[in-house]
């Protein structure tokens, strides 16, 4: 059984050669991150994340960004694009002098004086902004560079205090950044690198005027990186006005599911999901299952519930230490742990063969994430089962997934918990949003709210998911 911390999307094709001018680089090898010209403290951080090989976008981007080129990256979340820009940015910001100082000091030390913002990353949502700033902190953990993140919807004062203490890298949503600019908390005369992440989404969300205002106060001489999953006309306008002679990197998103994986949807009330999971563990031949939740908090809660119910389970997510994650993965691999509960962020680096079931305990609001998730089973000629527990609010996600993958997902109608399937979703006890707000998740690109459903519990026992109701005559019934 192969058990390795590499993502399916990683590739070992020939990486581009990189040059980093005077910056000392790690010894080169014929592949892997070492060959991209990254310095040792960054390689060490990448390694401790469990990444073995660069993903295609990382292979294609890192050298050019290290060389100071502007870049247009056509890629979306899940491709490894954050590391594709964060790793070379950290290295450029450190610079040869910083590396030299680092090697003398032997460890990271605070900068002598409060620096001004040298890199600005604009992102459309707080979730993405947080995810990006976490990535900078993780990849830069051996470097003396400070990262802060600012977004709206929370108090501004702590953000002001953090910025005033001095930061090198600022990750921001546009609205809150404008607030901070108006209060003269943040200035950009030292800015060297600008990143616009998910540019299409930012324009979709009406940030164009904010972005234009921000651009006006940035120094003209800077490196610009723009990432966008799609390039509609408005984004092209932004590309033309911001990027100078850019390198263009395109990565094709995953959009199809393997026929080796049998997919099923269970319509179920949110409150019944745990019991449905126990029912499935009792009645199906689930030997090794990866169960996905949307948040770390929910992963912890579910692990606790399973353990209390006598199921061998463990949870992995970003808040767990590397050693705790490794222990959980080792137990899972050895068959001591039957159920591994994971958040998307943590699970993306896992590649374990012989997973019999992937269970979407909570639906992802990005169809690409669904494809990534269920790709963990049905590997190496084995057959796998992917089950999706779908409450009333999540029904729309299934429709989006079916559209993207061009496959109908059969609905299981004869399970014991169909009655609550259309129940309105109660507000969460923990103050989190009801749906679609998981960290690192983009809010649903799927349009429209929950649809009426003719599915679960109908008398025929056959059904289809909402968007396809009636579209497929040969839906299977399972027990
Ligand atoms: P992103 O597309 O930046 O949202 O990254 C998607 C996920 O891939 C994140 O959970 C990263 O931790 C993970 N990741 C990024 N680069 C690699 C890599 N080279 N190998 C394995 N996982 C990676």
Encode pLDDT of 321-376 as tens digits.
667 877 888 899 888 999 999 887 666 556 677 899 999 999 998 887 888 788 88
CA 384-390-394 angle, 5° bins: 125
Handedness of CA 457, 463, 469, 473 (dihedral sign): negative
Encode pLDDT of 178-188 as tens digits.
999 999 999 99
Are domains 2-250 and 261-427+443-478 of this chain identical in fold? yes
Residues within 6 Å of ligand 1 by CB: 6-7, 10, 51, 53-55, 58, 77-83, 345, 348-349
CA 49 to ligand 1 center in whole angstroms:
9
Comparing C-alpha atoms, which of 55, 41, 56, 71 is closest to residue 6? 55
- The arrangement of strands across the sheet holding 169-172 comes to 147-150, 169-172, 119-122, 193-196, 223-228, 71-74, 247-250
Encode pLDDT of 116-143 as tens digits.
899 999 998 887 898 899 999 999 999 9
Encode pLDDT of 212-239 as tens digits.
999 999 999 999 999 987 788 889 999 9
* DSSP run (H or E) holding 145: none
Task: Indicate which residue's Cα is closest to atom 19 of ligand 1.
Answer: 54
Quick check: pTM over 0.75? no
CA 135 to ligand 1 center in whole angstroms:
9
* DSSP per-residue codes, 82-95: HHHHHHHHHHHHHH
Task: Indicate which residue's Cα is closest to atom 6 of ligand 1.
Answer: 78
Q: Which residues, 6+ apart, have CB-to-CB distance to 326 below 8 Å?
A: none
CA 226 to ligand 1 center in whole angstroms:
18
Check whether 448 has a pLDDT greater than 60: no
| 229's tokens | 């999953």
CATH class (in words) of the domain with range 261-427+443-478: alpha beta
Q: Give the confidence band of 30 by pLDDT, cuts at 50, 70, 90.
A: very low
CA-to-CA distance for 338 and 320, rounded, in angstroms? 19
Q: How far is CA 188 from CA 51, 76, 123, 170, 310, in A?
A: 33, 28, 17, 10, 56
* DSSP run (H or E) holding 389: strand 384-390
CA 334 to ligand 1 center in whole angstroms:
25
CA-to-CA distance for 174 and 238, rounded, in angstroms? 15
Query: What would you measure as the largest C-alpha separation in the chain, in angstroms?
Result: 75
Helices marked H in 157-257 — which ranges? Answer: 157-165, 174-182, 199-204, 208-216, 233-242
Residue 106 confidence (pLDDT)? 56
- Inter-helix orientation angle 367-374/395-405, to 10°: 80
| 303's tokens | 């692990």
CA 78 to ligand 1 center in whole angstroms:
6
For the CA of 135, the closest atom of ligand 1 is: 12
For the CA of 82, the closest atom of ligand 1 is: 3
Check whether 318 has a pLDDT greater than 70: no
Could you give the percent of the chain with pLDDT greater than 70? 75
CA 466 to ligand 1 center in whole angstroms:
32
Mean of all residue pLDDT scores within the chain: 79
- For the chain, which residues make up each domain, given as ranges? 2-250, 261-427+443-478
User: Could you tell me which CATH number the domain at 2-250 has?
Assistant: 3.40.50.300
Buried b (16+ CB within 10 A) or exposed e, 162-176: bbeeebbbbbbbbeb
């Amino acid at each position: 059984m192969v058990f390795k911390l590499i993502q399916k999307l990683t590739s070992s094709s020939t990486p581009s050669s990189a040059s980093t001018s005077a910056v000392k680089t790690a010894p080169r090898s014929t592949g892997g991150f070492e060959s991209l010209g990254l310095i040792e403290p960054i390689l060490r951080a990448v390694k401790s994340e469990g990444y073995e090989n660069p993903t295609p976008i990382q292979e294609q981007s890192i050298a050019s960004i290290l060389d100071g080129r502007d870049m247009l990256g056509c890629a979306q979340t899940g491709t490894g694009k954050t590391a594709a820009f964060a790793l070379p940015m950290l290295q450029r910001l450190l610079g040869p002098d910083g590396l030299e100082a680092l090697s003398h000091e032997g460890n990271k030390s605070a900068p002598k004086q409060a620096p001004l913002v040298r890199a600005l990353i604009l992102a459309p949502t707080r979730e993405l902004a947080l995810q990006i700033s976490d990535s900078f902190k993780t990849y830069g953990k051996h470097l003396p560079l400070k990262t802060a993140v600012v977004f709206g919807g929370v108090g501004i004062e702590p953000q002001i205090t953090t910025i005033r203490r001095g930061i090198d890298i600022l990750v921001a949503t546009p609205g809150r950044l404008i607030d901070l600019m108006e209060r003269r908390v943040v200035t950009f005369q030292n800015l060297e690198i600008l990143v616009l992440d998910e540019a299409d989404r930012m324009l979709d969300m009406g940030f164009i005027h904010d972005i234009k205002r921000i651009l006006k106060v940035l120094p003209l001489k800077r490196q610009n990186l723009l990432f966008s999953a799609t390039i509609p006309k408005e984004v092209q306008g932004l590309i033309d006005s911001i990027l100078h002679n850019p390198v263009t990197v395109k990565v094709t998103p995953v959009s199809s599911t393997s026929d080796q994986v049998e997919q099923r949807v269970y319509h179920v009330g949110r409150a019944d999901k745990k019991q449905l999971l126990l029912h499935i563990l009792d009645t199906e031949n689930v030997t090794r299952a990866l169960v996905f939740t949307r948040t770390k908090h929910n992963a912890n809660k579910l692990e606790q519930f399973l353990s209390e119910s006598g199921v061998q389970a463990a949870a992995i997510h970003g808040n767990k230490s590397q050693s705790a994650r490794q222990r959980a993965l080792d137990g899972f691999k050895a068959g001591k742990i039957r159920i591994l509960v994971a958040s998307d962020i943590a699970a993306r680096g896992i590649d374990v063969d012989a997973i019999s079931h992937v269970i979407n305990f909570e639906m992802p609001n990005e169809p690409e994430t669904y494809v990534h998730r269920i790709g963990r089973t049905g590997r190496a000629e084995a057959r796998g089962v992917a089950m999706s527990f779908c409450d009333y609010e999540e029904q729309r996600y299934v429709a989006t997934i079916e559209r993207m993958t061009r496959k109908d997902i059969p609905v299981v109608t004869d399970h014991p918990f169909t009655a609550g399937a259309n129940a309105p979703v109660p507000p969460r006890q923990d103050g989190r949003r009801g749906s679609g707000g998981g960290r690192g998740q983009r809010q649903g690109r799927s349009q429209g709210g929950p649809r009426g459903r003719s599915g679960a519990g109908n008398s025929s026992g056959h059904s289809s998911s909402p968007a396809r109701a009636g579209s497929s005559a040969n839906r299977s019934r399972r027990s």
